Amino acid sequence: MAEVKTRLERTECLNRDSYGRIIDYLRISVTDRCNLRCIYCMPESGVPKLSHEEILTYEEILRFVRVAAGLGITKVRLTGGEPLIRKGFVDFCKRVVEIMGVGRVSLTTNGVLLAPFANQLYDAGIHRINVSLDTLKPDRFARITRRDLFHRVWNGIMEAHRCGFYPVKINVVAMKGINDDEIEDLAALTFEYPFHVRFIEFMPFSPEDKWTSHFISADEIYSRLRKLGKLLPTVSKNSNGPARYFQFLGAPGKIGIISPISHHFCATCNRLRLTADGMLRTCLFSVEEIDFKTILRTNEDDSFLAKQIIKALQNKPAKHSLNREIFKKCIGRPMVKIGG
């Protein structure tokens, strides 16, 4: 018991950053490739692809997660690019789930390949899934994602629901003049299904983002939703993130509103992000990255790796410095390159 306590104390201490936040959540991008071209994430022609050698191997990612889990990372989210297009992904998921200390592994996907993989993913131990879907109109879906694949995504969502994934979260990037007229229809899905429909503020990542004209704030989304029915504040048992949750009276599903821009959640941020090419970002909006690919590919042992992770998380910034001026200039990589 004494030994366990010492270990727990040590763990707590190792994943606490210099502002006292416990960092226990790691988002991993397994690929920079994608089978969609969402207008807010990528140019139509795509982005220059990383070469095979530049991308971390599954073994390298697993080693990183093992060491991070030893420091107190308990939650892992797998994302991309589109994670389901990477070969061997389901087996990789199984191995992440088996890592001691990792209590929860979840997935963010665009859903295009979800229907054929849902069952296998569930059996691999992934039970929580976020699917991005910005519209219920197939023609609009084709315009937003530049691919005519709405029905594949919708079938994927239904299949995940049928397989028992809970919660199935639907991520909607709300954009004025593009899909904001569907906020109510998307929210109404929560009357029919136990889904968590989460509205996310559009974030600027690339110079083409005309964010000011399409930005719609969380407060505006909330006032629109209130007109639909009585919205009761609630919590999502499985969410430690920045979403505020609500529920319409009598609805089985929940509504999430995520406001990284208008109300930033830096004070409680518990995350690290590992990009597909092995860069660790301690803040989504920071341009600073630590090159863990090089560290993983040298002959250093796990204790060296652990020390570098601790050093990185201790330097996690207190808060992001996004302001309107920086928005206008736009920063860093697009989400497809960071891992959303």
Q: What is the dihedral of CA 38, 105, 155, 152, to 10 degrees?
A: 30
34 in contact with ligand SF4 (CB under 6 A)? yes
Could you tell me the smallest distance in angstroms from the CB atom of residue 154 to ligand SF4? 15
DSSP assignments along 278-312, one per residue: SEEESSTT-S--EEHHHHHHSS--HHHHHHHHHHH
Q: Which residue is nearest to ligand SAM (CB)?
A: 340
CB of 84 to ligand SF4, least distance (A): 10
The 181-210 contact track toward ligand SAM, x by CB under 6 A, reads: -------------------x-xx-x-----
- Comparing CA positions, the residue from 110, 87, 26 lying closest to residue 61 is 26
241 burial class (0-12, 13-18, 19+ CB within 10 angstroms)? middle
Considering only residues 31, 110, 135, 282, which one is a binding residue for ligand SAM as defined by CB under 6 A?
Answer: 110
Quick check: 55 binds ligand SF4 (CB under 6 A)?
no
Bridge partners for 299 per DSSP: none
Under DSSP, is residue 77 helix (H, G, I), strand (E, B) or coil?
Answer: strand
Length of the chain: 340
The residues, ordered by sequence, that sit 6+ positions from 21 with a Cβ below 8 Å of its Cβ are 267, 268, 269, 270, 316
Query: Contact with ligand SF4 (CB under 6 A): which of 80, 156, 204, 242?
Result: 80
Kindly tell me which residue out of 23, 30, 39, 41 binds ligand SAM, with binding defined by CB under 6 A: 41
Among 72, 80, 167, 253, binds ligand SAM (CB under 6 A): 80
**Token pair recorded at residue 126:** 């992934």
From the list ligand SAM, ligand SF4, none, pick the one residue 163 interacts with, judged by a Cβ distance below 5 to 8 Å according to partner type: none
One of 29, 110, 206, 259 touching ligand SF4 (CB under 6 A): 110
**Residue 276 contact partner, candidates ligand SF4, ligand SAM, none, CB within 5 to 8 A by sort of partner:** none
Helix, strand, coil shares of the chain, percent, nearest 5, are 40, 20, 45
Instruction: Tell whether residue 82 is a contact of ligand SF4 (CB under 6 A).
Output: yes
Give the residue with the Cβ less far from ligand SAM, 144 or 296: 144
84 binds ligand SF4 (CB under 6 A): no
Q: How far is the CB of 197 from ligand SAM (least distance, A)?
A: 12
In single-letter form, the type of residue at position 85 comes to I
- Cβ 78 vs Cβ 85: under 8 Å: no
For 167, the 3-state DSSP assignment is coil
Quick check: 221 and 173 in contact, CB under 8 A? no
Cβ neighbourhood burial of 62 (10 Å; 0-12, 13-18, 19+): middle
Q: Are residues 166 and 128 in contact, defined by beta-carbon separation less than 8 angstroms?
A: yes
Determine if 146 is a binding residue for ligand SF4 (CB under 6 A): no
* Residue 67 interface partner, choices ligand SF4, ligand SAM, none, CB cut-off 5-8 Å depending on type: none
Q: Which stretch binds ligand SAM (CB under 6 A): 106-114, 150-158, 303-311, 314-322?
A: 106-114
Of the candidates 168, 208, 220, which has an alpha carbon nearest to the alpha carbon of residue 190?
168
Tell the smallest beta-carbon distance from residue 146 to ligand SF4 (Å). Answer: 9
Question: Is residue 203 a contact point for ligand SF4 (CB under 6 A)?
Answer: no
Asked if 165 contacts 180 with a C-beta cutoff of 8 angstroms, the reply is no
- Which residues form the interface with ligand SF4 (CB under 6 A)? 34, 36-38, 41-42, 80-82, 110, 132, 335-336
- Which residues form the interface with ligand SAM (CB under 6 A)? 34, 40-41, 79-80, 82, 108-110, 132, 171, 173, 200, 202-203, 205, 335-336, 340
